[in-house]
Amino acid sequence: MIKHTIAVIVNDQPGVLQRVSGLFGRRGFNIESITVGTSEEVGLSRMVIVTTGDEQTLEQITKQLYKLIDVIKVIHLSSNPIVARELALIKVSAEPAARPEIFGVVETFRAAVVDIGTHSVMVQVVGDTEKIDAMVELLKPYGIRELSRTGVTALNRGNSR
Amino acid sequence: MVTQNATLKSKEELMEKLRQPEVITGSEILLRSLVLEGVDCVFGYPGGAVLYIYDAMHGFSDFNHVLTRHEQGAIHAADGYARASGKVGVCIATSGPGATNLVTGIATAYMDSVPLVVITGNVISSLIGTDAFQEADITGITMPITKHSYLVRDVEDLPRIIHEAFHIANTGRKGPVLIDIPKDVSANKTLFKPVTEVSIRGYNPTVSPNKLQVDKMIKAIAEAERPLILAGGGVIYSGAHEELHEFVKKTDIPITTTLLGLGAFPSGDDLFLGMPGMHGTYTANKSIQKADLLINIGARFDDRVTGKLSGFAPHAKIIHIDIDPAEIGKNVPTDIPIVGDVKTVLQIANLQAKRAEKADAWRAELLASKAQYPFSYKDSEDELKPQWVVEMLHETTNGDAIVTTDVGQHQMWAAQFYKFNKPRSWVTSGGLGTMGFGFPSAIGAQMANPDRLVISINGDGGMQMCAQELAICAINNIPVKVVILNNQVLGMVRQWQELIYDNRYSHIDLSGSPDFVKLSEAYGVKGFRATNKEEAKAVWEEALRHPGPAVVEFVVRKEENVYPMVAQGSTIDEMIMGDAE
């Protein structure tokens, strides 16, 4: 199964996320991650969806999305070079003695410690999915108390669209 | 003539009057907009959330409103109206249970691409989301079964939304559009100015095909030795039956039409092979499996047509013409995709279409096969055979009636033995297979065609799902001739249980059905019953002579099966031919 990243430009209407995610659900398409936010144009939102499937599935996803009246444009981002980023907040158990080690990991990954509690620290990491997976793996031995990932947002590099 | 001109003038005067800007309520905006959209008939059922709308309708006479006895009756009637006329069907229901009672009918229309505008009321805006009395999230519930939907939040938006809804419903691949109107929006006032233009970014159906793809099709036809056309409901919806006829005559390619495509091509023509699929003709199914070129025109390769997909049309190059790009390649891989409106595509194709020269042997083979394997059944002198009844209906009406059906064995017999020559003469629930559809859809078809004979063929099962609508036939004198092929069981389920579930007849006995003659008469509709051929002919003729609505019950053989039959999971040339062969 190939992973695809697509951007869906939609009218910023109530219910539009339900229309899009519902379409994926009922037609048996997979959503690995979905992010929604405003776009460069007022009134339009950009959804970035990471999905898996063969070329025929991707074609059907695109065509079925275009059937939704509120869908303006579907862009297959991963057919061209992209910048894809995800953000994660990871709250790790961290007694004072363990902190230098954790800070070392954070530094190596160019992540940041954004909060410190008495028994824990919160780490913020931005990067592609693999980087965040790796970060999570490295922090696991210390004890991850809470974890929140945003899902992937992405744009094509340079002039390619 | 004088009266007609007067009517025309008054219609124009009316439109002119309605176009004048005026401060009115949302309800009045709705009614005016419907008239301006050309609506002449609305089916509905009032309730709390649409009281302002019905209040505005008090004494209103610019379109007919038919009060059904159940919301399901209203939406199937609107559906039948749309299918038989080509216009947008409209129905109105209240919030909550009224709206949810429409769901089956919306799904039916969605599956068969029928243009409907469905208007539902909702609780007042400030109560939405509070589980208020009779609140249901109908836009959420119907999202998967509508082409688009609106929840109107501001009365100012109403004129635009109504105009957009009609545009969306009846362009591109047609379908139902829902407008949910909170009660306060229908009460609020604003300055009404009719909207006549529509601009929906992100909605631009492709009408004209890619010329190069059409050229490829023409080339493929010239090379084909065993070409075949598979035409579907899209031909009828785009009004392309004449273009299809011209295309078939120019190319001389044999044609099969799907269940929803019946009437798109004259059934008596030598090149017509009948319907394909689960209960299709031997020749249509065999020809698909042997074809080296299959031209799908406005059909969607439904599984009832294709049978086992991996073995479907194994030798054929596939051309698929459809206005909905998502249909192309959805079920069957396509060699030459042509996205566009069927009528426009065929008009362009007809400019260069030439006779398929290499297909002479193929034509002769199919003509012989057609003669050898027509639909057939063993007739009986003792019992009424349902196929015989349908043949009689065809003969006595010269095939000119509009026929609506419910779903089941009678539907297949009607498709097999009533021969259709004209589009929009056949109204049936294909995609969803909705029992309860047949009778109310006939009411809609009759409202759209007051001067034509409308016959509704039903089983004893489906008739009991919307029988209450007999009341509206009686009080409005809607002269539908309702046929009930009564075999006292759920026939199609019985057939599957016999053939596939080893005669284990589980819960199919419909004993306890009412006396349909008495039931009809209780509603004030003339009722007839026949148990043999002689009675059948006599009562049917009497029913036809009767000027108003009539119900004719034919008590038919219980054990009769529909043949040929392709079992699920088989390829379509693996047909059970039945006892007639």
A69 → closest Cβ in B202, B324, B325: B202
B541 catalytic residue (yes or no): no
CA B419 vs CA B283, B426, B458, B575: distances in Å: 17, 10, 17, 22
Beta bridge partners of A46: A9, A37
What's the pLDDT tens digit per position in B220-245?
A: 999 999 999 999 999 999 999 999 99
Residue that wins the pLDDT comparison between B578 and B103: B103
Q: Which residues of A touch B180 (CB under 8 A)?
A: none
What's the pLDDT tens digit per position in B546-579?
A: 999 999 999 999 999 999 999 989 999 999 998 6
B329 → closest Cβ in A26, A56, A69: A56
B202 → closest Cβ in A11, A15, A56: A11
The region, left, alpha or beta by phi > 0 then psi within -120 to 50, assigned to residue A129 is: alpha
How close is the nearest chain A Cα to the Cα of B151, in Å?
9
Q: Does residue B257 carry a pLDDT above 50? A: yes
Tokens in use for A49? Answer: 């969806």
B202 near A CB under 8 A: yes
Residue B522 host element (H or E): helix B516-523
What pTM was estimated for this model as a whole? 0.96
Give pLDDT tens digits along chain A (161 positions). Answer: 899 999 999 999 999 999 999 999 999 999 999 999 999 999 999 999 999 999 999 999 999 999 999 999 999 999 999 999 999 999 999 999 999 999 999 999 999 999 999 999 999 999 999 999 999 999 999 999 999 999 999 999 987 65
Tell me, what's the pLDDT at B580?
54
Q: Does residue B75 carry a pLDDT above 80? A: yes
Average pLDDT over residues B262-270: 97
B148 near A CB under 8 A: yes
B470 in Cβ contact with B523 (< 8 Å):
yes
Handedness of CA B194, B197, B202, B205 (dihedral sign): positive
CA distance A56 to B401: 44
Inter-chain touch B326–A66, beta carbons under 8 Å? yes
B412 catalytic residue (yes or no): no
Inter-chain touch A70–B329, beta carbons under 8 Å? no
A63 near B CB under 8 A: yes
Which amino acid is it at B277?
G
What's the pLDDT tens digit per position in B351-388?
A: 999 999 999 999 999 999 999 999 999 999 999 999 99
A interface test, pick of B201, B332, B334 with most A CB neighbours within 10 Å: B201
CA distance B40 to B147: 23
A interface test, pick of B143, B178, B320 with most A CB neighbours within 10 Å: B143
Closest alpha carbon to A4 in A78, A61, A66, A55: A78
Q: Is residue B146 classed as helix, strand or coil in its secondary structure?
A: coil
Which amino acid is it at A46?
R
B interface test, pick of A8, A29, A44, A67 with most B CB neighbours within 10 Å: A67
A46 in Cβ contact with A39 (< 8 Å):
yes
B183 catalytic residue (yes or no): yes
* B151 φ, ψ (degrees, to nearest 5): -110, 115
Residue of B nearest to A14 (CA): B151
Window 110-139 of B, Cβ < 8 Å to A: 139
Tell me, what's the pLDDT at B1?
41
Task: Give B148's pLDDT tier (boundaries 50, 70, 90).
Answer: very high
B356 in Cβ contact with B292 (< 8 Å):
no
Average pLDDT over residues B411-415: 98
A21 near B CB under 8 A: no
A71 near B CB under 8 A: yes
Closest alpha carbon to A94 in A130, A43, A49, A141: A141
Radius of gyration over alpha carbons of chain B, in Å? 24
Q: Is residue B256 classed as helix, strand or coil in its secondary structure?
A: strand
B134 catalytic residue (yes or no): yes
Average pLDDT over residues B263-291: 98
Window 22-51 of A, Cβ < 8 Å to B: 22-23, 26
Residue of B nearest to A9 (CA): B202
Average pLDDT over residues B463-481: 98
B368 near A CB under 8 A: no
B71 catalytic residue (yes or no): yes
Q: Does residue B581 carry a pLDDT above 50? A: no
Residue that wins the pLDDT comparison between B45 and B581: B45
Residue of A nearest to B177 (CA): A69
* % of chain B beyond a pLDDT of 70: 98
Q: Does residue B4 carry a pLDDT above 90? A: no
Beta bridge partners of B509: B489
Task: Kindly report whether the peptide bond that precedes residue B159 is cis, defined as omega within 30 degrees of 0.
Answer: no
Closest alpha carbon to A47 in A26, A28, A23, A81: A23
Tell me, what's the pLDDT at B578?
83
How close is the nearest chain A Cα to the Cα of B322, in Å?
13
CA distance A107 to A138: 13
B317 in Cβ contact with B294 (< 8 Å):
yes
Tell me, what's the pLDDT at B213?
98
CA distance B305 to B276: 6
To the nearest 10°, report the CA torsion of B294, B296, B300, B304. Answer: -50
B146 in Cβ contact with B175 (< 8 Å):
yes
Tokens in use for B260? Answer: 């929803």
Residue of B nearest to A72 (CA): B202
Q: Which residues of A touch B325 (CB under 8 A)?
A: 63, 66
Inter-chain touch B202–A60, beta carbons under 8 Å? no
CA A23 vs CA A16, A26, A61: distances in Å: 11, 5, 9
CA distance B190 to B26: 8
A interface test, pick of B203, B204, B323 with most A CB neighbours within 10 Å: B203
Tokens in use for B172? Answer: 């591109």
Identify the active-site residue in B15, B22, B63, B134: B134
B441 in Cβ contact with B72 (< 8 Å):
no
Listed as own residue / partner, the contacts of A58-61 with beta carbons closer than 8 Å and 24 or more positions apart are A58/A2, A58/A4, A58/A6, A59/B329, A60/A27, A60/A29, A60/B326, A60/B329, A60/B330, A61/A6, A61/A24, A61/A29
Q: In angstroms, how far is CA A71 from the centroid of its own chain?
A: 20
What one-character-per-residue DSSP string does B156-178 give? GGHHHHHHHHHHHHTSSS--EEE
Identify the active-site residue in B57, B492, B565, B575: B492
Residue of B nearest to A66 (CA): B202
Closest alpha carbon to B428 in B458, B400, B463: B458
Tell me, what's the pLDDT at A159?
75
